[in-house]
Amino acid sequence: MKKRNYIILFLLTMVLVTVGVWIVKIVKGNVPYVDQWTRELVARMDDTYIYTIFRWITNLGSEPFMVPFTVAAAIILWWAYRDWLPALIFAGGTLSSHMLNKLIKLLVERDRPSILASANAEGHSFPSGHAMISMVCYGLLAYFIAGKINSSKLKFLVQAFLALLIFLIGISRYVINVHYLTDVAAGFLIGFLCMVGLIYLYDWVHKRRNQT
């Protein structure tokens, strides 16, 4: 294994251990230090322009928007690739990440810092569904769109735009005070692992189909 792979594996292990520590603390009813240190910043952003902007951005990861968007994007991918597999991986992966998020929330049972029904912020808090599902949905979309773009510059711009969108949607949940920062960070991590797994699944199935 190359040195770079060892470094990536080490960093990933450290992140997973950190998230594991957070989960243990949360299940025991404690608040991780990261959340204790970052609560004051949320209070300062309340009723500001920053809050208003992120209140709008968060809708791009909410169910009323994500459901029709996922269906429409899956149909476009089916048409663009002339194949059902990218559409299935994209739509099925997004739905599966949603179900996994619900399961983890039921197991951890963390209360939200506040409830905001109009922002799709009800129920349990850990991990953030907006961060996790947006990572899978927009991340897979970036991967499949990039596969149809020849220009490396345009490919970079599309991937950078969707990566920024994922970050803004996730962090919006912290800014509008419906999630703790650790909820968002864990959502990003779990969503990233799901996205990578789905990409590997797509590549594996695609190669197997071409071999037969």
Alpha-carbon span 167 to 187, nearest angstrom: 11
User: Does residue 124 carry a catalytic annotation?
Assistant: no
Backbone angles phi, psi at 111, to 5 degrees: -75, 145
Full DSSP string of 32-61: -HHHHHHHHHHHHHTTSHHHHHHHHHGGGG
Question: Is there a contact between 142 and 95 (Cβ–Cβ < 8 Å)?
Answer: no
User: Does residue 206 carry a catalytic annotation?
Assistant: no
Alpha-carbon span 130 to 94, nearest angstrom: 11
From the candidates 98, 124, 130, 206, give the one annotated as an active-site residue. Answer: 130
From the candidates 98, 124, 179, 206, give the one annotated as an active-site residue. Answer: 179
Of the candidates 197, 193, 13, 196, the one whose C-alpha atom is nearest the C-alpha of residue 104 is 193
Alpha-carbon span 98 to 104, nearest angstrom: 10
Tokens of 5: 């792979």
**Dihedral (C-alpha) 51, 57, 61, 62: value to the nearest 10 degrees?**
70
Beta-carbon contacts of 65 under 8 Å, excluding residues fewer than 6 positions away, are 59
Instruction: State the catalytic residues.
Output: 130, 179
